[in-house]
Chains A and B, each alone.
Chain A
Amino acid sequence: MSAQPQPVTPAKSARSFDIPWTAMPFLLIVAVMVLLAVAAPLVAPVDPNTQNLLARLKAPGTVSRGVTYILGSDELGRDVLSRLIYGARISLFVAFSSVLLSGTLGSILGMVAAFYRGWVEIVIMRLVDIVLSVPAILFAIITVAVLGPGLVNVVIVLALTRWPRYARVAYGQTLSVANMPYVRLSHFMGASWIRLLGRHVLPNIAGSLAVVATLEFGLMVLFEAGLSFLGLGVQPPMASWGAMLSTGRNYVATAWWIATFPGLALFLLVLSINLIGDHVRDRLDPKAR
């Protein structure tokens, strides 16, 4: 949480994305999770969707039909460890793609609003207000009812409900950047707005947007879980941490392992990302909100 350069940091660069050593363990956690997700087919002991009704709710370490359930089996006799590894894929994919989509959409709209002012600004910023005041669940239910359920539609729901966060930041930051003398100057010299935004504005506001994106990434992991809890998430039998957690929570007293492992994984991922985001934010502007 320090703005002072840490003397022990081996990295010499004082660039804004320099991560202090205290954040390293968390970066490592995220890296390991991403690695597991990518290499899931190679790492997972068994197929995550193969059921065995004779080996339901078995405790960690149980062996049945030649399969060792290292982290136990779930309510349909599937291997919790394998589902956890494959679940990382889904949770990370949903979070990553929804952040990418909503981030891009929101940043562009925010910059455009600040740059053009006038009617464009009013329309975009009021749209921001509108989307922010509609319950996300309503969007989720309508999307599922109209487009059908599925992984891609979960991403669409999240993207559609989250872009205003980026739009607000992009808007506010662009406002201040756009008034800087050199930006005005290139505007007078006839630079196209795409060039202006890309060349001068975006590099200046990218840091703040990155901070929002980091925090949103953690939130998206939680939102995917929340959608699963409400029955609007990824489709069964697909494993996501949120889906595992929302069925597993019914077994807290009898088969603790079903919910505890995905819950722990989810908690560690989100906490790591939040801490990294906090560091980045601190580094960028020690006093930024």
Chain B
Amino acid sequence: MPIFFAKRLFQALIAIFGVMTLIFFLQRLAGDPVLLLVPMDASQADIDRMRIALGFDRPVVVQYLEYIGNLLLFDFGRSYVQNIPVAELIRTRLPYTLMLAGGALVVAFGIGIPIGITLAIRRGKPIARVLSGLVLAGQSMPTFWSAILMIMVFGVWLGWAPPSGARQISSIVMPSIALGLLSMATFARVARTAVLDELEKDYVRTGHAKGLPMRRIIFRHLLRNASIPVVTVSALEIANLLAGAVIVETVFAWPGLGQLTIQAITARDFMVVQGVVLLGAITAIGLNLIADLLYSLIDPRIRMGAGS
């Protein structure tokens, strides 16, 4: 086991390094930020001067080596647009992303899990069909559409929550729902499968035969046992939630990393993109690694996750 772990950890580090390298070179194929930084009427000489000042006149390989060198010293570079260190920029945005991912998780988990359990227990009944239809409906709408509808209805017409921003606690409700709806079906499905698995086990049958009330079996024993796969999938889903908030954050003007990502990419703010992607890669690959290890602990045949 320790050897397996060390091997996977090493591979994960290589993968993260691969992401950074890939992004570094790919990004530069799409132009640089200089033209966006200078005023429209800047002369070619001014543009060239700016390009030299930012170091884009040097060979890309040199820039890459410098970047890797700095990275090893935990220097993530500076934003060309905002003129502040990337680490500082990410630090100010990260709490919002965590809050939103947390809110979405509460929605997805809080609604998805009970529905999933119901689906398993009431399997084949009309209620199960309706519920599974509802859960699937939640992820069948483009977020940029459902989000603006929510804003119009709850923000403008009913006035229950502010349409956008992050100024008060109620601001987080709508973005959390918009984002959480997407993961809800995944949670429902996992919970359903896990509960179905448990329902077939001997202890449930025995308990049932002994005349224990079903409700008691479910709440006392079954849910605890069914929670392991749910937790594992949650790990992967959290990575999705952290990465998947670009559109939700844009529509709700929520100042998290999703918005920063799209802004940095469109502004060709290379170092910020590198920083955000590095963080994302560590989260995604790290959580994946943990999930893999959990799987291998549960099931020695190492079932790879089917993902979502």
Q: Does A37 contact B (CB under 8 A)?
A: no
Contact of B31 with A289 in the complex, beta carbons under 8 Å = no
Question: Are A137 and B196 in contact, CB atoms less than 8 angstroms apart?
Answer: no
Binds B, one of A45-53, A70-78, A182-190, A222-230: A222-230
Determine the distance from Cα of A264 to Cα of B103 in the docked complex, in whole angstroms.
27
Query: Which residues of chain B from 276 to 308 have any CB-CB distance to chain A below 8 Å in the complex?
Result: 276-277, 280-281, 283-285, 288, 301-307
Check: B214 CB closer than 8 A to any chain A CB: no
Contact A2 B247 (CB under 8 A): no
Determine whether B133 belongs to the interface, using a CB cutoff of 8 Å to chain A: yes
> Which residue of chain A lies nearest to B266 when distances are taken between CB atoms in the complex?
A141
Q: Choose the segment among A11-19, A55-63, A242-250 that binds chain B (4+ C-beta atoms closer than 8 Å).
A: A242-250
Bound-state Cα–Cα, A263 to B140, Å: 10
Cβ 8 A contact of B304, one of A175, A246, A286 = A175
Whether B6 is near chain A, meaning CB under 8 Å from some CB there, is: no
A8 in contact (CB, < 8 A): no
Q: Report whether over half of chain B's contact residues are helix, strand or loop; otherwise say mixed.
A: helix
Distance A259 CA – B141 CA, assembled complex (angstroms): 12
A1:B145 contact, CB within 8 angstroms: no
| A169–B306 CA distance with the chains assembled, in angstroms | 5
A-B CB contacts (within 8 Å), total count: 161
- Judge if A266 is at the interface, Cβ distance under 8 Å: yes
- A4 to B125 Cα, complex, angstroms: 12
In angstroms, Cα B306 to Cα A175, docked, is 13
B139 contacts chain A at the CB level, 8 A cutoff:
yes
Q: Which of A4, A133, A274 has the most CB of B within 10 A?
A: A133
B133 touches A275 (CB 8 A): yes
- Which of B137, B233, B276, B306 is A212 in contact with, Cβ under 8 Å? B306
User: Are B15 and A129 interface neighbours, CB within 8 A?
Assistant: yes
Alpha-carbon distance between A229 and B147 when the two chains are bound, in angstroms? 12
Determine whether the beta carbon of B139 is less than 8 Å from that of A274. yes
CB < 8 Å: which of B128, B262, B303 contacts A172? B303
B306 contact from A129, A172, A176, A263, Cβ within 8 A:
A172
- Smallest CB separation, B278 vs chain A (Å): 9
A-B residue pairs in contact (CB < 8 Å), sample of 6:
A141-B30, A172-B304, A222-B142, A245-B142, A246-B144, A287-B197
